[in-house]
Structure 1
Amino acid sequence: MTTAPELTLSAHAMPSVNRLAGPLVRDIIARASSLRLHISQDESGVTLVDAGIACEGGVEAGLAIAEICMAGLGRVQLSAHPREGWPRWVEVSSSQPVLACLGSQYAGWSLSASKEETQGKSFFALGSGPARALAVKEELYGELGYRDTAGEGVLVLEADRLPPRPVLNKVLNDCGLTARNLTVIVTPTRSSAGTTQVVARVLEVALHKAHEIGFDLRYIVDGSACAPLPAPADDGLEAMGRTNDAILYGGSVHLSVRGSDEEAERLARELPSGTSRDYGKSFKALFEAAGYDFYKLDGALFAPAEVWVSNLDTGRTWHRGATDLGFLRGLWVTE
C-alpha cells in the first residue's frame, strides 16, 4: 500500500495559483465582448470584471470564470448531451483537486462593509478564487500548509453589485497587492455566468465535505464530477436555491484516493448529501425555514447526491447515494 506523502500543500512543492490563473484572466478580458462581460477600472486601478450585473454575461463566461476559480488546475465544460431527463450538464475534473478546489475555488473569504463605511448601502460577499491564497484569512490554509506569494491576484465575488472602495482596500491590504495587479470578478448568482460558476463547484463541495468528515486530504489524488445546469432565476434567493439543489440532488462525483479500503469505504458512505437530516426538501424551503441562517442548516447536506470512490492502491470502488432528477424537474420545469 502506498503511504501518504509527508508534505502538505507546501508553497515550495506546489505552484502559484495566482500566476496560473493570470493568463486565464487576461484571456477573458481580451474576449470580453464575445463573452458579454464588462471590464472597468476603479479610481485606484483595480480591474473589475462584471459578469452579469450591468451586462448579459453567459454560460461560456461562467465556464471560463469557474476555471479561473480553480486556477487553471481543473477543466470545466458544458455537456449538451441530454441525460437523466435534463438537457445541460456542467462537467468538472482536476488532477490537483485539493489545491484547485480548496486552495483556490472554495468561497471561504467573508468580505463586508457597513453602511457607514460605504456612506450608503452595506455590502457582503463571499470571496473565492486564487487571491484567497495570498490573504490566507482562513484556518484551512494552515491545515493545507499552503500560501501563495505571487505579485498578482484574482478574486471572484458572488454579489449583485460591484464591491465598494472599503472592500477593495481590504483585499489589497490583506493580499499585499498594488491596485493594478488585482482583478475582481463579480458574478451575481441570478445571472447565467453566476449560475454556471456555482454549479461548477460540485467537485469542490465534495472536497469540502471530505475535509469536514475528517478524511485525510493528502490521499485524494484525482477527482471528476458533474451536475445539471438549471436556468438562472431573476430572484436572488431562488437562484441560490437552484444552484444548491443542482449539486445536492443532481451532483455526481468520482474521487480517486490512496490508503486503506476502510477509509475509502467510509468516505463513500459518509459523503453523499442523502446522509443529512435535511435531505429531501428544496434548499430554498430549508433556508426559509431556518430564518435565512446558514448555520441552522445541517452541514452534512452540502455534498453531491451521488459518490464513487476508487482506491488506487487496491483497485476497489464504492458507490453510494443517488441523483434525483425527478425531484429537480419538479422544481425547475413548468408543465
Structure 2
Amino acid sequence: MNLNQKSCSILKKLIEKEDIDVIEYDTDHGTVFLIDFGIKNEFHEDVGEKIAKVCMGSLGSVKINDNEIYVKIPKNPSIATMSCQMAGWSIKLNRINALGSGPARILAKKPSSIIERIGYHEKSDRALLILELETDVFPSVNVCRNILIETEANELYIPIFKIKSTTGLINIMARVVEVGIFRLYNLDYDINGIRYAEGRCIIPELDDDIMFKSNDAIIYNGRVKIEVNEWNPELAERAIFSSSKFYGKSFREIFEQCGCDFYNINPDIFAPAVLEVEDISSGEVYRAGKCHSP
C-alpha cells in the first residue's frame, strides 16, 4: 500500500482528463508540479470529489447528491483521515500560513505525534500535498522546494485552491468523518480499531463566509457512523459537539476568540453533531446527538 503513489496516479489521470495546465518547478532536489484547482480556475463538483479522494490517500470516496455530501472510508479510516486528510501541516507563504493536507504528510511526519500514534509509514518517490490558500498568490519555488525536501521524494504534486472555491468547499465538507475521528482521537480512543467509517452533511451555499458556514454545518449537522471491534458506551455522548463547552456558538465567534488563527482553535470544537457506533464484536449499536442550527 503506497498511498502517495496511488494518489498521484489518480491525480495525473484527472489532470489529463480535464486538460489542466501544470506549473513545473525544477529544483536541485527534484521536480514540483503545481496544479490550480481553484485559484484562477473553477471546476465542477466531480473534480472536487476526486481531489477530496486523493486528499484521503485514495482510501475513501466522496459523492455529492441533492446538495448533501457523502463520505465513505471502507478500510483504514484512521490513516485516511488523521494521517492524510487532516490539515496538519502548516506551510508558511510569506506572512500567511497555508493549510497542508494529503498523504505527503506521512512522508514528512507532519505532525509527528499523530503520524507516530497511527503507526503507518511509507517511503515514496512521488508525493502529494494539497494546499488550501487564502489568497491568489501561488507558492514560490523556494516554498515548494522546502516541502519537497521534507518529503524526501523526487516528485511533488501540489493541487492548490482557495477555500472560497467549489473544490475548497467540497474538501472542507468532506472532512465530516475526519472531524468525528479527530474527536475520538482527542478522547484517547484507539482509532486504529475503527474498521469502517462514513459520514454525511448538508453543503452550505458558497459565499465569502464559507469557511465559517462549512464548519458550522459539520459541527451542528454532520452525521458520522463508524464500525469498531470494541467500544466504550460512555464515549458516544462525549464525542458529539453538543457536549462541548463551545456548543451554541458559531464557528465565526469561536475563530475570532482565538485570534483568527486556525491552529490556535481548541480541538474540543471539532466534533460531529451525530455519532453512530456499531460494535462488531457485540452487535450493539450506540447513537448520540442530533442535528441543530447554530
Q: TM-score, normalised by structure 2?
A: 0.92
Q: Does 1:316 align with 2:284?
A: yes
In structure 2, distance between residues paired with 1:127 and 1:291: 20
Work out whether 1:58 is the aligned partner of 2:44.
yes
Q: Tell me how far apart the structure 2 counterparts of residues 295 and 111 of structure 1 sit (CA, whole Å).
A: 12
What secondary structure sits across from 1:313 in the alignment?
coil
Deviations 1:58-90 (A, max 9, x none): 32221110000111111111112xxxxxxx111
Q: Indicate the residue corresponding to 1:100 in structure 2.
A: 80
Distance in 2 separating the partners of 1:123 and 1:298: 20
Structure 1: runs of 5+ lacking an equivalent:
1-14, 81-87, 115-121, 329-335
Do 1:18 and 1:150's aligned partners in 2 also have CA atoms closer than 8 Å? yes
Q: Pick the aligned partner of 1:286 from 254, 258, 283.
A: 254
Counterpart CA distance in 2 for 1:94 and 1:19 is 19
Q: Residues 137, 75 of structure 1: CA spacing in aligned structure 2 closer, same or farther, 3 A cutoff?
A: closer
Q: Alignment partner for residue 131 of structure 1, among 74, 99, 104? A: 104
- Aligned residues between the structures: 287
Whether contact under 8 Å (1:41, 1:47) holds in the other structure is: yes
| Alpha-carbon contact 2:8-2:157 (below 8 Å) kept | no
Asked whether the 8 Å contact 1:123–1:164 carries over to 2, the reply is no
| In structure 2, distance between residues paired with 1:162 and 1:300 | 32
- Name which of structure 1's ranges 182-191 and 138-147 shifts more when overlaid on structure 2: 138-147
SS at match of 1:223: strand
- SS at 1:46 equivalent: strand
1:257 partnered with 2:228: yes
Equivalents in 1 of 2:263, 2:165: separation in Å?
Answer: 26
Quote the Cα distance in structure 2 between the aligned partners of 1:211 and 1:136: 17
Query: 2:270 maps to which residue?
Result: 302
Determine if the alignment matches structure 1 residue 240 to structure 2 residue 220: no
How do residues 138-287 of structure 1 correspond to structure 2 at under 5 angstroms? 138=111, 139-159=113-133, 160=135, 161-178=137-154, 181-233=155-207, 235=208, 238-260=209-231, 263=232, 265-287=233-255
Task: Specify whether residues 129 and 323 from structure 1 end up closer, same or farther in structure 2 by C-alpha distance, changes over 3 A only.
Answer: same
Mapped contact 2:127–2:156 kept (Cα < 8 A) = yes
Higher fraction of strand: 2
Q: CA deviation at 1:170?
A: 1.3
Contact 2:32/2:148 (8 A) holds in 1: no
Flag the structure with larger Rg: 1
Supply the RMSD in Å over aligned alpha carbons: 1.7
Unaligned runs of 5+ in 2: none
For normalisation by structure 1, the TM-score amounts to 0.81
Tell whether the 8 Å contact from 1:268 to 1:319 is kept in structure 2 after alignment: yes
The one-letter amino acid paired with 2:213 is R
Q: Deviations over 1:225-259 (max 9, x none)?
A: 011111222x3xx2210121121111000011112
Shift of 1:203: 0.6
SS at match of 2:272: coil
Match of 1:5 in 2: none
Q: Is the CA contact 2:118–2:192 (under 8 Å) kept in the aligned structure 1?
A: no
Deviation at 1:42, TM superposition (A): 3.1
Whole-Å separation in 2 of the counterparts to 1:79 and 1:24: 22
Q: For 1:11-32, what per-residue CA distance to the aligned partner results, in whole angstroms no more than 9, with x for missing partners?
A: xxxx221122122111211122
Give the match's secondary structure for 1:31: helix
What's the % identity of the aligned pairs?
30
Distance 1:294 1:22 in 2: 28
How far residue 296 of structure 1 moved from its aligned partner, in angstroms, is: 5.9
**1:177–1:296: structure 2 CA closer, same or farther, 3 Å change rule?**
closer
Q: Supply the distance in 2 between the matched residues of 1:212 and 1:20 (Cα, whole angstroms).
A: 29
What secondary structure, in the 3-state scheme, does the structure 1 residue paired with 2:106 have? helix
User: What do residues 194-213 of structure 1 show as CA deviations (whole Å, max 9, x unaligned)?
Assistant: 00111001111111111111
Query: How far apart are the structure 1 equivalents of 2:45 and 2:213?
Result: 15
